[in-house]
Amino acid sequence: MSATPAVQFIVEGGRTLSGSIRPSGNKNAALPIVAAALCTEHPVTLENVPRIRDLETLVELVRSLGVSIDWTARNTLQIHAKTVTPAGIDRELSKKIRGSILLAGPLLGRCGRVTLPPPGGDVIGRRRLDTHFLALEQLGARYDLTDVIEMEAPKGLRGADVFLDEPSVTGTENAMMAAVLASGTTVLRNAASEPHVQDLAHFLVAIGGKIEGIGTNQLTIHGGATLGPATHRIGPDHIEVGSFIGLAAVTRSELRVERAGVEHLRSTLMGFARLGIECRTEGEDLIIPASQSRLVQADLGGHVPTISDQPWPAFPADVMSIAIVTATQCEGMVMMHEKMFESRMFFVDKLIGMGARIVLCDPHRAIVSGPSRLRGTTLESPDIRAGMAMLLAALCAEGTSVINNVGQIERGYERIDERLNALGARIERVGDRRTS
């Protein structure tokens, strides 16, 4: 029997796009919120959940714990964790997503113990888990690391004054969920404050948690509250919005991004403005005009500017790959500094092969000189964000490109080929059938 063929995108470049597109729900909010639904024994309804591979994998993991979890509409999940069994988490499913680690906090709080296979996810450099363990340890957990992660809280979780050794997003989320289930008050210092962390906090409040300081780097969580049912709508994905800004810029198109969550876009808009890409807002919508200077804004004195990512509210790391492709179509020179992941820059060799003028200085820095005429070629998607960046490069290139390993893109972008084709792109999906 022959193997099922891998999925490919056949992309015709050089087409101008137009129209409106709405961002999906935030993937990085939906993952922890699905995990957080295990904190309460009452039913939870989640709306605007992106129907992507990472979410489908987490749904299977949660179901394996004996939890009732079902899609009641395309983007609506009904979860009822009346009973939870903290053993038997599937190793193969866990390897597929890093988000499996987010089950640690809720399961420790509900069951007092958890056994987790090592989490997977994107290969974009070392992504340490120390912050999770150090925070949960201060809340009363102890752990043992072998070929699995064994954690238990024999005396139950209890509130503490916790200083996170780095503002880890998932570390903050795990600590927050555990603290809601702990007895007493927890103060989380040096906490992450990204929009998806805020969304998780708002969900925990919706089910009855008591959290102060949402949106700041210090959270005060009063644990032990009675948790109940809730209906919660996942907010728009600001990373997807950043991808659409880059899409409009490189294809010289005017696009409207509906309900874009403009309150969370200041650093993203500032980064693209440095590349000569200006946007405007109309109510909840973001407009990216076709007419742009696309002129890199030099620093004072004419020096080469730098766009660098940092923890929120600075320029998001997940938009860096998109910004690099955008810079190849802008006039001038810019240093792109990826501070957070040491392997995320390595995809630029594919852009160089397409004709981009990029010098990779080291694993964290690349100099981009544009504009460059890109040529269609065969590409491989190494991770979610680089995959989307290469899709943008293919859409603005001359000729036809083939993108392999499309499953990586589809881990984070829902039906992206259909949605972009509705704007005038020409992307043919070849291979196995869609699973959702």
Catalytic residue ranges: 122
Helix H or strand E encompassing 390: helix 384-396
Strand-pair partners of 114:
151
Q: Which residues contact 17 (CB under 8 A, 6 or more apart)?
A: 247, 248, 251, 253, 255, 395, 420, 423, 424, 425
Joined together, the tokens standing for residue 10 give 């056949």
d(CA 412, CA 55): 9
Q: What angle do CA 21, 292, 249 make, to 5 degrees?
A: 40
Supply the angle between the helices 266-274 and 238-250 in degrees, to the nearest 10.
20
CA atoms within 13 A on the CB side of 424: 15
d(CA 248, CA 18): 9
| E runs forming strands in 101-209 | 113-116, 142-145, 149-152, 161-163, 185-189
The alpha carbon dihedral of 283, 21, 424, 249 has a sign of: positive
Q: Which among 392, 386, 407 is positioned nearest to 54, based on CA atoms?
A: 407
Q: CB of 25 within 8 A of CB of 235?
A: yes
